[in-house]
Structure 1
């Protein structure tokens, strides 16, 4: 039976490349022969849109087969998995109704553990090597649910003047969650949207290198117009244009993630 590793992708700063990083690492792991489940935890539906066209994603969002319905009803997530066109890669789609998930959680008993409980049968069944969860850019009860369910968190950070804004709040929140989930660890920080010609990248690397006990992945993701085209075509860049620089960088980052212990 497989031991499932659950990794959350989280950053309270929007525009960090969270969904893109989650989908491409998921696809990269699937290419490496790992069985992967992606969970779209954000009302913006970006992770779902990286695998299905808009029409299908909206059908998922309006149906009874999405993450919002599962969490609201505290259902076993096994019944909410949809297959994608890619080998080894499945998805639990999101819904725009996730905007009200904090309200749904508020009155629930042991509300911080609801996602963990909903995932339990999938984990115990050993179907997946990896479960990757795309969190929304907030630090509320729902993101706490995601981090309580996870074993590791990857923090994508945009290489820009405001890319590090609020990162301190993210670390404080992480420490709060560790009081509930002491096994949670930071797998690493992934630097995204890099333009090596600008000083922002050098500054970002220098600041992040000063963080004690927190890994910064060696592989960084440079700005690549192919990523936008892949998003427009509802595919991970690795699938859409495997020869692109970004595709090669995401595969290198995937290999780094595989090597992280925990």
Structure 2
């Protein structure tokens, strides 16, 4: 990871959209659900949103029925040396009738970038440079990050205004975020301003004493770096995934849908403050 960071040369870029990297180095904490549901919630609040799947597992892409065998242009195309960003964005940004946001699918070849970019100068700034040509078209850009340290995660964090960390309210998930905090700590040594991050408690079950204990611990440790919104367990998320939709298309009044709408309003409110 240090090699991904050490050769970053910072350049001034004009950014209009708020870029949010949704990251956690433990899988199964609601990262992809957050990217897709928050993206849709923001569009329902009249925001123009782009969601980028930067995870080689392509869970967000498959969720929206962008299957690897049917997609030829993906986020991977942004990382070539001779990338013409203006042309590539026109080719990789996709739309689905079931959601209001624009979407960039992923592919398994993203996993090859660790090796492909090993000798490339400034490899931690590729995504940031690419986004500079499109952020004037959106209010928010959400990045679904891979669940491991590497060049993709570094690119996402460097390009972001905020790192949103979904944390499942159990002990193992809490332990897993230490790795992400270590990555942010290293990046802060070379970036001109500290990486901003905020945690989102997910998969919460208020009936379980352990969940309540972990939520209290998260709030005590991170203080104002925790969203006031808490996302509870909701079976509607699974129903939405099985049907290739987001929860608003299944039940917009469900608990999960209302909580992500609350999160979207909280993000907008914090930006305006």
Superposed CA deviations along residues 116-170 of structure 1, whole A, max 9, x for unmatched, are: 11212112xx110110001011111220111111111100001123111222221
User: Aligned runs of 1:160-199 on 2, under 5 Å?
Assistant: 160-183=170-193, 185-199=195-209
1:84 maps onto 2:96 in alignment = yes
1:6 maps onto 2:14 in alignment = no
User: Aligned runs of 1:40-59 on 2, under 5 Å?
Assistant: 40-50=53-63, 52-53=64-65, 56-59=66-69
User: Aligned runs of 1:28-177 on 2, under 5 Å?
Assistant: 28-50=41-63, 52-53=64-65, 56-61=66-71, 63=72, 65-73=73-81, 74-76=83-85, 77-79=88-90, 80-86=92-98, 88-123=100-135, 126-177=136-187
Give me the whole-angstrom Cα distance separating, in 1, the residues matched to 2:140 and 2:98.
15
Partner SS, residue 228 of structure 1: helix
TM-score, length-normalised on structure 1? 0.90
C-alpha contact 2:98 2:249 (8 A) present in aligned 1: no
Question: In structure 2, do the counterparts of structure 1 residues 145 and 36 end up closer, same or farther at CA, with 3 Å as the change threshold?
Answer: same
Partner SS, residue 107 of structure 1: coil
Residue in structure 2 matched with residue 256 of structure 1 by the alignment? 266
Partner SS, residue 164 of structure 1: helix
Give me the whole-angstrom Cα distance separating, in 2, the residues matched to 1:114 and 1:248.
35
User: Aligned runs of 1:195-234 on 2, under 5 Å?
Assistant: 195-212=205-222, 214-234=224-244
Q: Flag as ranges the 4+ runs of structure 1 deviating above 4 A.
A: none
Q: Which runs of 5+ in 2 are unaligned?
A: 1-13
Q: Which moved more, 1:131-140 or 1:167-176?
A: 167-176
The structural deviation recorded for 1:219 is 1.4
TM-score, length-normalised on structure 2? 0.86
Residue in structure 2 matched with residue 27 of structure 1 by the alignment? 40
Give me the whole-angstrom Cα distance separating, in 2, the residues matched to 1:88 and 1:181.
34
The structural deviation recorded for 1:18 is 0.5
Give me the whole-angstrom Cα distance separating, in 2, the residues matched to 1:182 and 1:190.
25
Give me the whole-angstrom Cα distance separating, in 2, the residues matched to 1:218 and 1:90.
27
C-alpha contact 1:188 1:216 (8 A) present in aligned 2: yes
The structural deviation recorded for 1:203 is 1.8
* Number of equivalenced pairs: 255
Superposed CA deviations along residues 47-91 of structure 1, whole A, max 9, x for unmatched, are: 2233x22xx422454x1x101122135441523211222565101
Give me the whole-angstrom Cα distance separating, in 2, the residues matched to 1:237 and 1:31.
13
C-alpha contact 2:47 2:139 (8 A) present in aligned 1: yes
